[in-house]
Structure 1
Amino acid sequence: MDFPGGLHEASVKDLKTKCKELTDVPIATMNLKVSGAHIKDDTATLESVGVHSYCMVELNGELVDKHEVDQQTSSGNPEEYGLVKRISSIVDGLSDELVGDIDAYEVLVLEQQQRVTTSGIKIDEGTKKKIQDQGIYCSERLMQALIRLDGVECPMEFDTARQKRRESVRFTQKLLDRVDKLRGTARSIII
């Protein structure tokens, strides 16, 4: 591939644009690897991420179905569809696994709270550690999801993607608020 200014001035974004022209894979779902390492910084020069003449760059991504794009987005743009899929993958991971973990954490905290308030029995060290670790785990996973959602940049004209991102942030924040409240309850009974 040729780049204006040569390989030493080309950015990862330039390479992704060329790949999109050749493959029709949306940049939003595109993942590039060189020497086994994922290339994440679109502003980095190709040389700085290890791309040089005759090196092998692996492209992972999905071709999109035009009918699906038209159905799922208001713009009909494959890039917007790619953003919607990225956002969905973040939230689906929360819905599939983490909500169950949060429910289990809530049951554990409320059972221990009831036990402490009704019988006055102190919580043993093993249970204290379990309560603390589970709360930290849930909080960290939700914070990671919020950071990943924050990394999804939706252009102004991609209304569907922007709305999906907004809803996903609200959903994740609501779960985080729930976990924070449970952690507060846990702190009050662990004393």
Structure 2
Amino acid sequence: MAVKINIKWSREKTAFEFKDRQSLSEIRLGELRQCCHEWSRVPISGITLIYAGAMMKDDNAPLSCFGIKPNGIINMMGTRPTKTDIQTLTTNGDPEEYALIVKIQTTMDKARQLASDLLPKFQAAVQDYLRAHPPPTISPPSSTSASPDSNLSEDQGALPTTATGGRPEDPSRMSAARKQLFELHVGLSESFMQALLVFDGIECKSNHEVARATRREAVKETQAWMDQVDDLQAQVKACDRAMRR
């Protein structure tokens, strides 16, 4: 009995039959990806397969582990490059290198847009927060002064204590200004880290010189944004610690 797998790519549809297989457990994802490549002429490294909203990643995994139901449809994403695209962007006209470059550039475009939209907003919010919470004037200790709590949490989501002291507020009870900083920091950090993980997972052959250079510059630029975010967050945490004293 042949195994039939339905594929949808944009408006195009096809079905691959594996006549020598008895079940999905006998077919590896990499084999299906190769079939999609031969059918669509999209470079293998530029093919993304999705089933039930989840990305299918491990090419060595059997298709049975993805929960594909009878008559289920796997969605394929990817762009078929033109000869001009390949010759213009790649080192030696390799369509696989072209797909890697497109993946790097697409990820970088998203990260760059995020940096353009939110990084200035985070910088301005941090400066507003620091101006609103200047370092307190340090008074000489007195015999009646309460001892500082040396075990206060310094988690990145923790709030400064209130003016009257006490433990840091719960993140769910943050002031509007502090909550905005928390959300911007988390959003930027996670997004830039995801981009770096994408770049780290892209394997370029030694002769893919353009792809390697493109990835190197993407990592450098994204890491610079990460460093800015970390520096701003360090300023906020230093301000919070000063307010706890």
For this structure pair, what is the TM-score category when the shorter chain's length is used for normalisation?
Answer: 0.7 to 0.9
Q: Equivalent residue for 1:129?
A: 179
Q: TM-score, normalised by structure 1?
A: 0.85
Q: Equivalent residue for 1:31?
A: 48
Give the superposition deviation at 1:111.
2.7
Distance (Å, rounded) in 2 between the aligned partners of 1:101 and 1:77 = 36
Give the superposition deviation at 1:99.
2.9
Q: Equivalent residue for 1:140?
A: 190
1:54-110: per-residue Cα shift (whole Å, max 9, x none)? 654332221111111110111211111111111111110011133320111111112
Residues matched between the structures, number: 190
Change (3 A) 1:183 1:36: closer
AA in 2 matched with 1:146: L
AA in 1 matched with 2:238: S
User: Which has a greater percent of strand?
Assistant: 2
3-state SS in 1 of match to 2:133: helix
Larger radius of gyration: 2
Q: Greater shift after overlay, 52-61 or 95-104?
A: 52-61
Distance (Å, rounded) in 1 between the aligned partners of 2:39 and 2:214 = 29
Q: Equivalent residue for 2:125?
A: 108
Change (3 A) 1:71 1:146: same
Is the 1:30–1:61 contact (alpha carbons within 8 Å) kept by the matching residues of 2? yes
Q: Greater shift after overlay, 180-189 or 27-36?
A: 27-36
Give the superposition deviation at 1:51.
5.1
AA in 2 matched with 1:169: V
User: For the aligned residues, what is the CA RMSD?
Assistant: 2.7
Identity %: 27
Q: Greater shift after overlay, 144-153 or 33-42?
A: 33-42
Q: Equivalent residue for 2:233?
A: 183
Moved over 6 A (4+): 3-6
1:75 aligns with 2:92: yes
Structure 2 gap segments, 5+ residues each: 1-16, 138-161, 164-173
3-state SS in 1 of match to 2:50: strand
Is the 1:3–1:10 contact (alpha carbons within 8 Å) kept by the matching residues of 2? no
Give the superposition deviation at 1:139.
1.1
Give the superposition deviation at 1:134.
1.6
Q: Equivalent residue for 2:79?
A: 62
Change (3 A) 1:56 1:125: closer
Match of 1:155 among 205, 209, 212: 205
Distance (Å, rounded) in 2 between the aligned partners of 1:154 and 1:72 = 14
Structure 1 gap segments, 5+ residues each: none
Distance (Å, rounded) in 1 between the aligned partners of 2:184 and 2:230 = 12
Q: Greater shift after overlay, 101-110 or 36-45?
A: 36-45
Distance (Å, rounded) in 2 between the aligned partners of 1:184 and 1:37 = 36
